Structure 1
Amino acid sequence: MENNSNTSEKWRHWITCQLCVDIVVWLCAAVPVLILFLFITPYDRGFFCDDVTLSYPYKPDTVSASHLVLGGFSISVAVVVVVEILRSVDCNRKKSAQVRDNISYCIKGYGVFLVGFVIEQFVVQVFKKQMGVLRPNFFDVCKPDFNRSFCPGYITNYTCSGDVKEIQDSRQSFPSGHASFSMYVAVFYCIYIQNRLEIKFSVILKFFLQAGLICLSAVCGFTRITDHFHHPTDVAAGFLLGVTIAIFVYNMIGKKVLKTDSCDNSAYMQNLLLMAKSRDYYYSEAQTPLSQTPLPLLKNDFLNMGFEKTPTTPLLPLNSPFNVRRPVSMPIEPLKLLEEV
C-alpha cells in the first residue's frame, strides 16, 4: 500500500510540474503577441492616388474585434458542452470516474485550443505589421494630404489628418484577423467533434454541427468585405491561415494529448470476455499438478524403421545402414556409420 501511495504521489507531482512548465511556455509565447498588438506600428506603405480599391467609404464593424473574441470563445465552450452531453447520453455513462475523465479531456482540449490561438494570432500580427497593406477604406479614414501634381503616380510623401489609431488600423488589411480566427475556431472544433462525438441515434447531427461552425466563420469573413475593411484576397488568406493552423496544431499536439476511448458497449463487453478467458486459462495452467501423467510419447518412426512395415514407411535401398536391425537403446556411432556407408 505504501508503494502505491508513493507512486501516485510522484505521479501527481510530475503532472503538476508538467502543467506549470506548459503554462510558463504558453505565457512566453503569448507576451510577444500582446507586444505586437499594442506597441508595434505597421509598415508605412504608399499608394496610387487613383487607386479605386482604397476609395471605399468607412462603415462601422458588423462584427467588432471584441465581439469576435467573445463569440469565438463562447462558441468553443458551447460546442464542448453540447458534445459531452450528447456523448454521455449516447454512451449512458454515469460513474464518477468516467465524469472525471470527461472533464479532464475537456480541459486538455481547451488547452490545445489556446496553444493554437496564440500561434494564429502571432502569425496574423506579424503579417499585418510587416506588410502594412492598406484597407479598402484607407482614403476615407486617412484623408491624405499630398501634392496632387504627382498624380497619377505612386505617392509616398503624404500626411494623414484623421484619428491616429484608426489610421494605424487602416494599414493592417492583410490577412483578415476576423476570417483567420473564426475559421481556426470552426476547423479546430470540427475536428474535435469528428474525433470525440460518437452517436448512434442520428446520422446527420454531427455533420450539421460541423457545417454550422463553417457557415458562421464564412459569414464573419464575408462581413469584412461588405464593411470595406478587407479585400477579398485578405479574407481568403485569413481563411487559409485559420484552416492550416487548426490542422497543424491538432495533428502535432491534439493527437498526443486528446485520446478518445470508444463508448461502444458491445466492444467493451467483448474485451471483458477476452480478459476473463485469458485469466481462466492462466490460472488453469498455473494450478496443474506436477505429478500429472504426461501425454504418451509419439512413435519414433526413424528408430523403428525395419521393425515395422507400415504403408507410411519410406522405401530405402537394401544396403542402407538404416535398414540394419538394432535395438532401440543401441546408439549409432558416427564413425561406424561412415565405415558402413
Structure 2
Amino acid sequence: LPLHCLAVPSALISMLYFQMVIMAGTVMLAYYFEYTDTFTVNVQGFFCYEGSYRKPYPGPEDSSAVPPALLYALAAGVPVLVIIIGETAVFCLQLATRDFENQEKTILTGDCCYINPLVRRTIRFLGIYAFGLFATDIFVNAGQVVTGNLAPHFLALCKPNYTALGCQQFTQFISGAHACTGNPDLIMRARKTFPSKEAALSVYAATYLTMYITNTIKARGTRLAKPVLCLGLICLAFLTGINRVAEYRNHWSDVIAGFIIGISIAVFLVVCVVNNFRGRQPEHENSHMDNLAQMPMISIPRVESPLEKVTSVQMISF
C-alpha cells in the first residue's frame, strides 16, 4: 500500500478517538448533574406567605400529562427515526447520479479508505444531535443548581412552621434549609426549576428536526408537507412548556429560559457544526471554481460612444 494510505487511517482513528473522548466526557458530566449530589443546589430563601410559591402540589412527575419517560423517549427516538429514513431516501434518490457519493467523500479517507456516504452522514447527524441533547441537559442542570429557583408549589412541599419562624408580616424574609419541615427529596426537586428541562429538551429536538427537514428534503411534492410537519413539531414543543406552567410545575420564566437554551444549542450545532446538513461540494465543481479563480483577467479596450463625446463637448462649452 502507498504511504499516504497508511497515514490516513491513523489520522482518522485519532480524530474519532478524540471525538469519542469528548462525547464520553459530556455524558459523564450530564450523569453527575442528574443522578449524583456532586453539585450542591443553591438554597434560595422566600418571603412569608409569598403568593408565587403557594400553588397546590400537582403530584409526582409521572402523573403529569407529559411524563418525563414519554418526553425522553420521544426526544431520543423520533429524531433517530426521522434522520435514518430521510438519509436513506435521499441516498436512494441520488444514487443513480453519483452526486451524493462524490459530495460525501472526505479528504481524510482519500481513495484507499472509503466510507459509505449513507452511513457517514447518518452517524454524523445523529452524533451531533446526541451531543447537543446531553449539552442541553448540562446547561439546564447547571442553571438549576446555580439559581436554586423555587417551584410554584414550593410552599406546599416545604410546609414551613410560620409560628416558629416568626412570620408576623408578609415582608419577612426566610432563608436557610431549616425553614422547611417536609420531605427533603421533594423539597430539593422543588428548588430546581430554572430553567425548565422539559421545555429545553423538547424545543431542542423540535428545532433540530425542523432544520434537518427543511434543509435536507428537497422533493417537489413537499412544499406543503414540510411546513406542516415542522410547525407540528414546534407546536408540540411549545405545548410541553405551556403544560408545565398549567400544572404549576414551572414558572413562565423557567419555560422561556428553557426555550432559549434549547433553540440556541440546536441552531448553533446545525449552522456552525454540520453546516446546515450540507455535504462537501463535488470535486469537479471545486476544480472548476479553482480554474476560474486562476484565470488571468482579460482587459477589454473601452470604446467611447459618440453620445459620450457630444455630452462631454457640451459640458465643456457650458
The TM tier, using the shorter chain, reads 0.7 to 0.9
In the aligned structure 2, how far is the partner of 1:201 from the partner of 1:261?
A: 26
Q: Whole-Å Cα distance in 2 between the matches of residues 84 and 176 of structure 1?
A: 32
The superposition leaves residues 260-305 of structure 1 with CA deviations (integer Å, 9 ceiling, x where unpaired) of 379xxxxx9xx79x99xx9xxxxxxxxxxxxxxxxxxxxxxxxxxx
Residue 53 (str. 1) matches residue 69 (str. 2)? no
Deviation at 1:94?
10
Aligned counterpart in structure 2 of residue 13 of structure 1, from 6, 10, 15: 10
Query: Is 1:132 aligned to residue 131 of structure 2?
Result: no
Tell me how far apart the structure 2 counterparts of residues 225 and 76 of structure 1 sit (CA, whole Å): 26
Question: Per-residue deviation at 1:7?
Answer: 3.3
**In the alignment, is residue 149 of structure 1 matched against residue 167 of structure 2?**
yes
- Aligned counterpart in structure 2 of residue 109 of structure 1, from 125, 134, 153: 125
The counterpart of 1:178, out of the listed 172, 179, 198, is 198
8 Å contact from structure 2 (residues 48, 167) kept in 1: no
Can you list the C-alpha shifts for 1:95-139, whole angstroms capped at 9, x where unaligned? 8x9593122101101111122223212211111001011000111
Q: Secondary structure at the match of 1:247?
A: helix
**2:75 corresponds to 1:75:** no
- Secondary structure in 1 matching 2:77: helix
CA 1:161–1:261: 2 relative to 1, 3 Å = same
Work out the CA distance in 2 between the residues paired with 1:229 and 1:116: 25
**Cα RMSD (Å):** 2.8
Query: TM-score by structure 1 length?
Result: 0.69
Q: Which has the higher contact order (CA 8 A, sep 6+)?
A: 2
Q: 1:103 to 1:136 in 2, by over 3 A?
A: same
Count of aligned pairs between the two proteins: 263
Superimposed CA distance per residue, residues 12-49 of structure 1 (whole angstroms, 9 cap, x where no aligned partner): 33222211111112222332332222212311111122
Q: How does 1:1-341 map to 2 (within 5 A)?
A: 2-3=1-2, 6-37=3-34, 38-39=36-37, 40-59=39-58, 60-88=63-91, 90-91=93-94, 93=96, 100-146=116-162, 147-152=165-170, 153-157=172-176, 158-255=178-275, 258-260=277-279
Q: 1:174 to 1:102 in 2, by over 3 A?
A: same
Determine the C-alpha separation between the residues in 1 that align with 2:82 and 2:279: 16
Question: Is the radius of gyration larger for structure 1 or structure 2?
Answer: 1
Aligned residues of 2:91 and 2:118 also touching (Cα < 8 A): no
Change over 3 Å in CA distance of 1:149–1:73 after alignment to 2? closer
Distance in 2 between residues matched to 1:111 and 1:88, nearest whole Å: 19
Counterpart of 2:248, as a letter, is H
CA change 1:206–1:9 in 2 (3 A) is farther
Assess, with a 3 A threshold, how the Cα gap between structure 1 residues 154 and 178 changes in structure 2: closer, same or farther.
same
Letter in 1 for 2:50: D
* Structure 2 CA distance for aligned equivalents of residues 13 and 214 of structure 1: 42
CA distance in 2, matches of 1:125, 1:71: 20
Q: CA separation in 2, counterparts of 1:173 and 1:242?
A: 15
